Amino acid sequence: MARLHPRDLHPRDLCESQDPPQSTTEHISTTIRLAPGGAVAGLRAAADRSWNAAVDHRFVDELFAGTVPEPVMAKYLVQDYQFFESFLSMLGACVAHADSVASKLRFAKQLGFLEADEDSYFVRSFAEVGVPESDYADPELTVPTAGFREVMDEAVASASYPELLVVLVIAEWLYLDWGERSDPMPDRRVHRGWIELHRGDDFRAWVQFLVDELERVFPTEEGPALEDGPAVEDGPGSVTASERLTRIWHRAVGLELAFFDEAYK
């Protein structure tokens, strides 16, 4: 598979801050319950500008209005589909590395949902917008797609439950935030279906579970320094576990925003 180099998008080019999270829930608009003074609230607040830019993106506006240009919708779906295998691997890794049986079972349940609902949506939607299998099976990846897939694959390779959760929380929570807009729903199935996959009681409960898990396992004390991983490298030396997770958070949020922008290029 042809791949562009994801390092072309450095974290400093994608987000407004690389500072450690500040614990606040002020100005955060979401249906997800956050622990006051918690780590997740701090992460979300620190990336507020990029997060809101993605939630309020032109693509989301046009998706709800049912006016996304056909080539844009096709490109977006083809690129988003390239996350499917890595996302499955992340859920499988969470089954392996979660620290409780209840959590393992919750991730296993979500794996079944992906096969039954999300993959079916893609197959139907590719047919609706006229994308043949040869175009979505092995396309050239855009820089944001390659970058976010690398973040996902490195989380799997890390065998770190907190690192897996950081990436999953961004991938799911950001989409819930735009999916729960109060705008009228569009008529076309390709638009309406993508929104419906990212809203509703079941999806909100899934995101709440991820956020609660990340809050529970996020490192709260300065532990042994970790080697700075390649996905978030920002100079020589080493970083603490919480610093590494914060850097991954900022990079991934920036890539989410860049992914929306890329659909129009």
Q: Please write the tens of the pLDDT for every residue from 24-47.
A: 555 678 999 999 999 999 999 999
Position 55 in a domain: yes
Structurally, the chain folds into a number of domains equal to 1
Q: What is the pLDDT of residue 27?
A: 67
pLDDT in the model for residue 221: 63
pLDDT of residue 234: 44
Q: Are strands 238-239 and 226-227 parallel, antiparallel or unpaired?
A: antiparallel
Residue 155's nearest CA partner among 44, 260, 245 is 245
Q: What is the pLDDT of residue 2?
A: 34
Count of other CB atoms within 10 angstroms of residue 176: 22
- The residue with tokens 């590395």 is 97
Q: What is the pTM of this model?
A: 0.86
Which residue from 136, 170, 146 is spatially nearest to 262, judged by alpha carbons? Answer: 146
pLDDT of residue 29: 86
Classify residue 131: in a domain, yes or no.
yes
Does a structural domain hold residue 15?
Answer: no
Please choose, from the candidates 217, 225, 220, 221, the residue with its C-alpha nearest in 3D space to the C-alpha of residue 244. Answer: 225
Q: Is residue 68 part of a domain?
A: yes
> Residue 12: inside a domain, yes or no?
no
Q: For the chain, list residues with pLDDT below 70.
A: 1-27, 221-238
What is the tens place of the pLDDT at every residue in 217-258? Answer: 999 765 444 444 444 444 445 679 999 999 999 999 999 999
| Separation of alpha carbons 218 and 96, rounded Å | 18
Residue 178 lies in a domain: yes
Task: Give a yes or no: residue 10 inside a domain.
Answer: no
Under 8 Å between Cβ of 232 and 248: yes
Query: For residue 212, what is the domain's CATH number?
Result: 1.20.910.10
Rounded to 10 deg, the angle between the 143-158 and 161-179 helix axes is 140
* Domain boundaries, position 52: 48-218+226-262
Domain assignment present for 28 = no
Taking the CA atoms of residue 79, residue 80, residue 81 and residue 85 in that order, the dihedral angle to the nearest 10 degrees is 110
pLDDT of residue 20: 44
